Amino acid sequence: MAKKKFDREQILSFLELIEAITLTESYQKTLEKLLEKTAEVLDVQQGCILLANPKNSEELVIECAFEQKARPKGHRINLTLTAHPNLYKAIFQNAVFVRKGGPEEDVEQVLYIRLQTEEFLGVMVFGAKGEKKEFNPDDILIAQAISHLAIASIQHGRIIEKNERLKTIISERMSLADEIRNPLMSAGGFAKRAFEKLNSGESGIDPKILEYLKRALKNYQRVENLLGELLKTK
């Protein structure tokens, strides 16, 4: 089956794919670009990347879809695959599998490539139709290499998202800590005034002193509440 040499055009467009995805700036754009370029490399006219919902790995959601004729680039739809148990089982059992005929009548073959690390990330799907009748062994080899690039892109995107979440945590905590400043200064100020009054040597207790201390204590309470908020587990 295997040819002695790889088709030059196919490899060149595969090399182009690699360049294209390392130059895109956002996670979403990277996957769209990867899908679009894979369609070129495999010479197919439709494809999509389905990602497992991290909260429910039984559910697959279309992350991006590409169909040269019917859908505009980057068109997004949501779809669960749990309604198709046989397909779902096949994806879980096979790193790569090809089935005859697709969801549409004119699709000759459908190629599924599982995206798998320690966890199941999702699946890439491509349909052969029109002039493209089948996926040959070289298509499948290259599609598998592309699936590794997809995995790397997904992982990179997730790390970037995590990064953004950490930055948000820092900025939220910092603004909480900043809110502590005012009541703290206020509490300290009132306590200081109470002390000075008492320390001035006047006999008898000025009722203002009690008022100052009341306010100091009220502000303490606020500082404590804010600190409790700040220290809450992330």
Regarding 230 and contact with a second copy (CB under 8 A), the answer is yes
Q: From the CB of 17, what's the least distance to a second copy, in Å?
A: 9
Regarding 205 and contact with a second copy (CB under 8 A), the answer is yes
Distance CA 234, CA 127 (A): 44
* Residue 56 host element (H or E): strand 56-67
Q: Using CB under 8 A, which of 99, 133, 181, 208 touches a second copy?
A: 181
**Backbone φ, ψ for residue 15 (5° rounding):** -65, -35
The one segment of 5-13, 45-53, 67-75, 95-103 that binds a second copy by CB under 8 A? 5-13
Q: From the CB of 213, what's the least distance to a second copy, in Å?
A: 4
Regarding 18 and contact with a second copy (CB under 8 A), the answer is yes
Distance CA 117, CA 121 (A): 7
Binding marks (x or -) toward a second copy, 133..162, rule CB under 8 A?
--------xx-xx--xx-xx--xx--xx-x
Structure tokens, 72? 């505009």
- Map residue 47 onto helix, strand or coil: strand
Taking the least distance from each CB to a second copy, the nearer of 73 and 167 is 167
Q: In the β-sheet with 120-129, what is the strand arrangement from edge to edge? A: 56-67, 46-53, 120-129, 107-116, 96-100
Q: Using CB under 8 A, which of 94, 106, 214, 225 touches a second copy?
A: 214
Q: Using CB under 8 A, which of 71, 84, 132, 173 touches a second copy?
A: 173
Q: Using CB under 8 A, which of 19, 105, 119, 131 touches a second copy?
A: 19
Distance CA 36, CA 48 (A): 9
Q: Using CB under 8 A, which of 70, 77, 95, 166 touches a second copy?
A: 166
The 10 Å Cβ neighbour count of residue 149 is 18
Closest CA to 50 of 177, 180, 147: 147
If you search the block for the tokens 């009548």, which residue do you land on?
105
The 10 Å Cβ neighbour count of residue 165 is 11
Helix axes 27-42, 137-199, angle to 10 degrees: 180
Measured at the alpha carbon of residue 80, what is the angle toward residues 93 and 140, in degrees to the nearest 5? 40
Taking the least distance from each CB to a second copy, the nearer of 99 and 167 is 167
Q: From the CB of 114, what's the least distance to a second copy, in Å?
A: 14
Chain positions contacting a second copy, by CB under 8 A: 2-8, 11-12, 15, 18-19, 21-23, 117, 141-142, 144-145, 148-149, 151-152, 155-156, 159-160, 162-163, 166-167, 169-170, 173-174, 177-178, 180-181, 184-185, 187-188, 191-192, 194-195, 198-199, 203-205, 209-210, 213-214, 216-217, 220-221, 223-224, 227, 230-231, 234
